[in-house]
Amino acid sequence: MKKVVKFGGSSLASARQFKKVGDIIRGDKARRYVVPSAPGKRNDKDEKVTDMLYQCYDAASEGRSYKKILEKIRSRYEEIIEGLDINLSLEHEFANIEENFVNKAGRDYAASRGEYLNGMIMAAYLGYEFIDAAQVIFFDGEGNFEPDTTNQELKERLEHVERAVIPGFYGSKHDGTIKTFSRGGSDVTGSIVAKAIHADMYENWTDVSGFLVADPRVIKNPEVIETITYKELRELAYMGASVLHEDAIFPVRREGIPINIRNTNRPDDKGTLIVESTVRKPRYTITGIAGKKGFCSINIEKAMMNAEVGFGRKVLEVFEHFGISFEHMPSGIDTMTVLVHQSEFEEYEQSVIAGIHRAVEPDFLEMESDLALVAVVGRGMKASRGTAGRIFSALAHARINVKMIDQGSSELNIIIGVKNSDFEASIKAIYDIFVSAEM
Ligand code: ASP
């Protein structure tokens, strides 16, 4: 058995957290390859080391004073080293970093030092080999990740290494400059390593006990999703549910390597298992609910629209022309509605309307703002009758006016449009009818 274990920033924010991580790793011999993030927040008021590194670099490279913040960063690491009682000096590393900051080595270089230094500490603490991610994870000249060269190099490098720490979040271009993934990218590194070594499992340790059925800011103590498929995850993540970096799915997905989201602070919780497909039935009819506010709809009416070939294309071309992507497009015989992000649309509103008038000469055009979309997602919906009925009767009972309905052809999701002001109440109503009632 081989497992890759990635630990997020809050799991490594202090020596106390590091010790929990040490216990977790030592608790299972299969946990051979460790991918750490940079130290995160120790409490709500604290700062992430990555954010401090960006600030410090900006100051140093613009000739402003940076020493104070560099000291703050250094003390975060010193505190961890002291608390773990390990014999490691970062004196030389910090001298190097300071010099490179002043010489403008780049913001990516700066940010990557958070993971780099944490990786060194982790390797010393565990007695694992340290492998600098710059030597095994590659980007091309434009900064795009290179999956093939990376996979090859990582595979060869790790073949003969029994246990190693590989810092998350960054790699290098062929000229040696450091490049990072987007924020939260240590998740991606973990996934890439898991693929390269053909891991049996990719454990992603964070500060929640898995993916939740609904947003805890809307539902108090929501249930944890036990098993979720990649497709379901993608639907929920797109609608704003985030635990894992979006790009972390792709390397492991085709390899059949499951991702297990786990909680460093509650290591006995099973967390959420993310898999390609499963015969396991979801605990409730639905897997999860997520949603977003801030949409608007453009409703177009024209007599005999149904007979006019190319009508939809002409309308969508207007949106395309202004670089506005559409989210949904429900239609009737002589009506069609285009749902877009309000923030993307507002700037071009009048031009888009003029464009539609010119393109298709509608009889009537109306807009509605402040809409929210709620996605009810679940592989279980396909096999069970009456799911839509239950959703809409729950919404009716909660006196919520449904503005739009869209069911994906995969029968994996039902999307409902409501007023922004009904957003929270809609999620509560749906949660209650499926989760609270089925418990
Ligand atoms: N430390 C980086 C960030 O804060 C990457 C990560 O934590 O995954 O975004």
Tell me the mean pLDDT in the region 178-185: 97
For residue 207, report the distance from its CA to the centre of ligand 1, in Å. 14
pTM of the model: 0.89
Which protein residue has the closest C-alpha to ligand 1 atom 5? Answer: 184
For residue 49, report the distance from its CA to the centre of ligand 1, in Å. 9
Q: What is the CA radius of gyration of the chain?
A: 25
Per-residue model confidence (pLDDT) at position 281:
79
Per-residue model confidence (pLDDT) at position 306:
85
Pocket of ligand 1 (CB under 6 A): 9, 37-38, 48, 50, 114, 168-169, 183-187
Which protein residue has the closest C-alpha to ligand 1 atom 6? Answer: 184
Per-residue model confidence (pLDDT) at position 203:
98
For residue 115, report the distance from its CA to the centre of ligand 1, in Å. 8
Per-residue model confidence (pLDDT) at position 345:
96
pLDDT in tens, 254-287: 899 999 999 999 999 999 999 988 888 778 889 9
The 3-state secondary structure of the chain reads CCEEEEECHHHHCCHHHHHHHHHHHHCCCCEEEEEECCCCCCCCCCCCHHHHHHHHHHHHHCCCCCHHHHHHHHHHHHHHHHHHCCCCCCHHHHHHHHHHHHCCCCHHHHHHHHHHHHHHHHHHHHCCEECCHHHCCEECCCCCECHHHHHHHHHHHHHCCCCEECCCCEEEECCCCEEECCCCCHHHHHHHHHHHCCCCEEEEEECCCCCECCCCCCCCCCCECCEEEHHHHHHHHHCCCCCCCHHHHHHHHCCCCCEEEEECCCCCCCCEEEECCCCCCCCCCCCEEEEEEEEEEEEEECCCHHHCCCHHHHHHHHHHHCCCCEEECCECCCEEEEEEEHHHHHCCHHHHHHHHHHHHCCCEEEEEEEEEEEEEECHHHCCCCCHHHHHHHHHHHCCCCCCEEEECCCCCEEEEEEEHHHHHHHHHHHHHHHHHHHC
Residue closest to 77 by CA, chosen among 50, 49, 111, 42: 49
Per-residue model confidence (pLDDT) at position 18:
98
Per-residue model confidence (pLDDT) at position 151:
97
Distance of CA 189 to the CA centre of its chain: 13
pLDDT in tens, 116-145: 999 999 999 999 999 999 999 999 999 999
Per-residue model confidence (pLDDT) at position 241:
79
β pairing state of 259-263 and 201-206: parallel
Per-residue model confidence (pLDDT) at position 278:
85
Tell me the mean pLDDT in the region 324-337: 92
For residue 242, report the distance from its CA to the centre of ligand 1, in Å. 14
Tell me the mean pLDDT in the region 205-214: 94
Per-residue model confidence (pLDDT) at position 415:
93
DSSP bridge partners of 295: 341, 371
Mean pLDDT, the chain, integer:
94
pLDDT band at 172 (very low <50, low <70, confident <90, very high): very high
pLDDT in tens, 279-328: 887 788 899 999 999 999 999 999 999 888 999 999 999 999 999 999 99
For residue 238, report the distance from its CA to the centre of ligand 1, in Å. 20
- Quick one: which atom of ligand 1 is closest to the CA of 189? 8
For residue 222, report the distance from its CA to the centre of ligand 1, in Å. 26
Per-residue model confidence (pLDDT) at position 279:
83
Tell me the mean pLDDT in the region 213-230: 93
- Quick one: which atom of ligand 1 is closest to the CA of 169? 5
Tell me the mean pLDDT in the region 235-264: 90
Per-residue model confidence (pLDDT) at position 155:
97
pLDDT in tens, 360-377: 999 999 999 999 999 999
- Quick one: which atom of ligand 1 is closest to the CA of 180? 5
pLDDT band at 338 (very low <50, low <70, confident <90, very high): very high
Rounded CA separation 232/34 (Å): 27
- Burial-class residue 47 by CB neighbours within 10 Å (0-12, 13-18, 19+): middle
pLDDT in tens, 17-65: 999 999 999 999 999 999 999 999 999 999 999 999 999 999 999 999 9
Inform me whether the pLDDT recorded for 202 exceeds 80: yes
- Quick one: which atom of ligand 1 is closest to the CA of 9? 7
Q: Which amino acid is at 263?
A: N
- Burial-class residue 350 by CB neighbours within 10 Å (0-12, 13-18, 19+): exposed
Length of the chain: 439
- Quick one: which atom of ligand 1 is closest to the CA of 37? 7
Per-residue model confidence (pLDDT) at position 406:
87
- Quick one: which atom of ligand 1 is closest to the CA of 168? 8
For residue 186, report the distance from its CA to the centre of ligand 1, in Å. 6
